A and B are shown apart, each in its own frame.
Chain A
Amino acid sequence: MKKPDHADVVVVGAGASGVINSLVLAEAGLKVVCLDQGGWTQPSQHPHFSRDFQHQRHNKWSPEPALRRGADDYPVEGDQSHAFMWNGVGGSTNIYAALWPRFRPSDFRKGTEHGLAPDWPITYEDLAPFYDAADRMIGVSGLAGDPAVPPVPDYPCGPLPLRESGRAIGRGFDRLGWHWWPMPAGVLSESRDGRAACNGCGNCASGCPRGSMAKMSVTLWPRALAAGVELRAQARVERIETGPDGRATGVVYIDRTTGDRVLQTADIVIIAGNGVGTPRLLLLSENVQHPNGLSNTNDVVGRYLLHHTLVAAEIWVDEKIDSHMGNSGAVVSREFAETDVSRGFVNGFNFNVVRTGPAGQTAIGSFAQRPAPWGEDHHRWFARHFSHSFGAYAIGDDLPRATNRITLSATERDQDGLAAAKLHYTPCANDIRMMHYGMERLRDLARAVNAFDVAVTDYYENGVYRTPAWHLLGTCRMGDDPATSVTNKYHQCWEVPNVYVCDASSFVTGGVVNPTSTVTALALRCATNLAKNFQNLRHATRTVREYA
């Protein structure tokens, strides 16, 4: 086995969290090696320049590895939900929509609020400075002053164009007397740091080859490489090695370009492989000392998978609102974000109101699963509907359940022979009640904008809820109690004190918004604490609740 020079820190995963951890620690003067099982995605590889861009969204640019079947992917077994991920430099920022709303204080306090989920071990106020700093790193566009969230500094870039679609949606919310605000986004409204401003091409669903959207391979990786991070692509980590003292000694990876196995030793190991890949790696790392997988004596690794509840409506209005143009996110509404038990459930949901898409996607009914009619009515339907719609998601805070989980497949393997991930997820009655309530509110919104047509979906297929919310959260959650969590509040594993888990698997609850802004804030906080305390933590033999 090859054994390159020892590193201070090895980071597994080159996505949003991996790059921020790598960058901060390298800028602190540490020797950082980052490994990713996939490669770089060049701008020319995105489908935006080709007329078949819509078709590609359903195969090699699908956000689902099961449909994409790329060489860099590993299988995710299970049919209860879709898994949204991209394996390669930049991670899932290669394909996300970069919607950038934050959690609010109550999202961290569900234990206090109702007790059907735990509190986070940190508060909004703990994370707020890191949200602000991460926004500056990313170049987030938005409008400060939203009365439904804690005050934020002016965003680095002004808000993105609201367009006719956003204004039409806003009028609908105003008629209902509901909150709404322009959606913050990790998309440039003005050119910055050598990246071009968004030109409204309308194909955010397949990433952004211009770099207007915060795709980490073009936003932060150049800076991280300049800081000295050694990034090794095509390096698939198969296990974390531990020594007799219980500490990790490093990771073993397969160099996919040569087939060699390589042991990368390091003082600190950071796992940032997303809510599926991270628990998978901890489970794959079982050994005599850790027979249930690494840091998993309590059997929490992989459990409490959260996706968010999701229901949606495509809403068609008489006005031509050019719904195939512009970045995807238009408006956010926090009207139903807080728990109100009079509704019959705990937790709340958010409206993400978005632009819909190009002609083919409209015809196949990709947003709300209602395709255009075939036959003689088709063209009349298309002329009436296309460019006249917006989409509204009601995205809710699902309750964490131990039975919703990631395990290792007993049958499927990736191309290197490693066990595939197996995903199991079903919403509980509270979640389903919230979804039904959300569907009624979506119909209210359709009426308020005088829609001539609306299609509402609960994403059930043959009796199985298959949310395309895709978010992969909560599977190695942080906490104050080693019996019920995988890491402490600094992302340090309770059982292996020099292994850190830092990505969306660290979430305790999912909030009601897209997770990437919180992932980046957590990553910045994790790396900042680690850099500040590195000389103590590099030799740590136990994990404590609170750093001095």
Chain B
Amino acid sequence: MTEDTMTLEERRALTALLDTLLPGGAGFPAASASGMVELFTSRLLAAAPEAMTQIIGLVDTGNGLPGGAAGWREAAYRIEMILPRLFSEFRKQAYLAYYEQPAVIAAIRALGITYNDAPLPEGYPQQRFEPARDTPTHGRGNWLRTDEITRVDLSNLNLGDLLA
């Protein structure tokens, strides 16, 4: 399967599956509304084309595409059970593509979190290390000088077991 050879039905199935994994809600857009589908498709086909082929192939069990949200959730659970490794890759690519979309970044900021589009150039406000506040005062910790290091008693350990 390539982007060019994907059928309309396969594209519909892919979009519905992505929206099942990442539905809209709580201020976040659905996967398809975030603008991620094309990016996700090209990346997954480049990284793991077999994941796309096999997962989309499993959506239709012979009775056409699932109907309604419950049907799609059931399809996703089934695929996760049958193809755990490929589903894991599919989900990873979906999450990564989703969380770089401007609409999703805006939703993160709406949670009250300072979050940049990209790490640089801005970075994040640096606090200073304040010795009076931040220096540990516990006094715990010790170390041995080289000349203080002696043999430990291994009699309660089965050395053969340890090295197995």
Contacts and interface: CB of A to CB of B under 8 A. Distances in A.
Interface of A: 48-55, 58-59, 104-106, 108-109, 112-116, 123-125, 143, 145-150, 158-163, 166-167, 170, 173-174, 177-182, 189, 197-203, 209-210, 320, 322, 324-326, 334-335, 338-339, 341, 344-346, 358-360, 363-364, 371-372, 374-376, 378-380, 382-383, 386-387, 399, 401, 428-430, 433
A55 B97 contact: yes
B99 A363 contact: yes
B56 to A, nearest CB: 17
Given A200-B124, A341-B157, A378-B21, 17 more contacts: A49-B120, A51-B100, A51-B102, A52-B100, A53-B119, A55-B43, A58-B92, A104-B144, A105-B144, A108-B146, A125-B146, A147-B142, A148-B142, A150-B145, A335-B141, A360-B99, A363-B96
Contacts of A149: 141, 143
Contacts of B149: 105-106, 109, 112-113
A325 to B, nearest CB: 4
The 8 closest A-B pairs by CB, nearest first: A148-B141, A199-B123, A201-B119, A360-B99, A203-B119, A379-B26, A147-B141, A430-B162
Interface string B104-140: 1100100111111111111111111100001110111
20 contacts: A49-B119, A49-B121, A50-B118, A54-B100, A59-B47, A106-B149, A109-B149, A150-B143, A160-B129, A167-B134, A170-B136, A199-B124, A324-B115, A341-B153, A341-B156, A358-B115, A359-B108, A374-B22, A378-B22, A429-B163
Given A104-B143, A201-B124, A428 B118 contact: no
Nearest to A200: B124
Q: Most chain-B Cβ atoms within 10 A of its Cβ — which of A143, A174, A364?
A: A364
Contacts of B104: 359
B119 A148 contact: no
Interface size class of B (residues with CB under 8 A): 35 or more
User: Counting chain A CB atoms within 10 Å of each CB, which of B73, B114, B127, B143 scores highest?
Assistant: B143
Contact of A210 (B95, B120, B151): B120
A145 B27 CA distance: 48
A338 B144 contact: yes
B111 A383 contact: yes
Q: From DSSP, what is the main secondary structure of chain A's interface residues?
A: loop
A108 to B, nearest CB: 7
A123 B146 CA distance: 7
A201 B123 contact: yes
B23 interface: yes
Determine the main DSSP class of B at the interface with A.
loop
Nearest to A433: B162
A359 B129 contact: no
A325 B124 contact: yes
Contacts of B13: none
A534 B26 CA distance: 69
B144 A106 contact: yes
A199 B126 contact: yes
Contacts of B11: none
Nearest to A167: B134
Contacts of B140: 147-148, 177-179, 335
Contacts, number: 222
B129 A146 contact: no
Contacts of B55: none
A198 B140 CA distance: 29
A179 B96 contact: no
Nearest to A383: B111
B41 interface: no
Contacts of B164: 428-429
Of listed A108, A209, A359, residue having the most chain B CB within 10 A: A359
Interface in B146-164: 146, 148-154, 156-157, 159, 161-164
B152 A114 contact: yes
Contact of B96 (A167, A201, A364, A374): A364
Contact of A341 (B28, B148, B154): B154
A542 to B, nearest CB: 29
Most chain A CB atoms below 10 A, which of B105, B149, B153: B149
A159 B119 contact: no
Interface string B38-62: 0000010001000000000000000
Contacts of A378: 21-23
Nearest to B138: A174
B67 interface: no
B84 to A, nearest CB: 10
A116 to B, nearest CB: 7
A162 B134 contact: yes
B25 interface: yes
Interface string B83-94: 000001001100
Nearest to B110: A383
Nearest to B90: A374
Q: Which of B47, B76, B126 has the most CB of A within 10 A?
A: B126
A450 B151 CA distance: 39
A378 B139 CA distance: 43
B99 A359 contact: yes
Nearest to B141: A148
Contacts of A202: 119, 123-124
Contact of A159 (B123, B134, B151): B134
B117 A158 contact: no
Contact of A147 (B23, B92, B123, B139): B139
B95 A372 contact: yes
A376 B119 contact: no
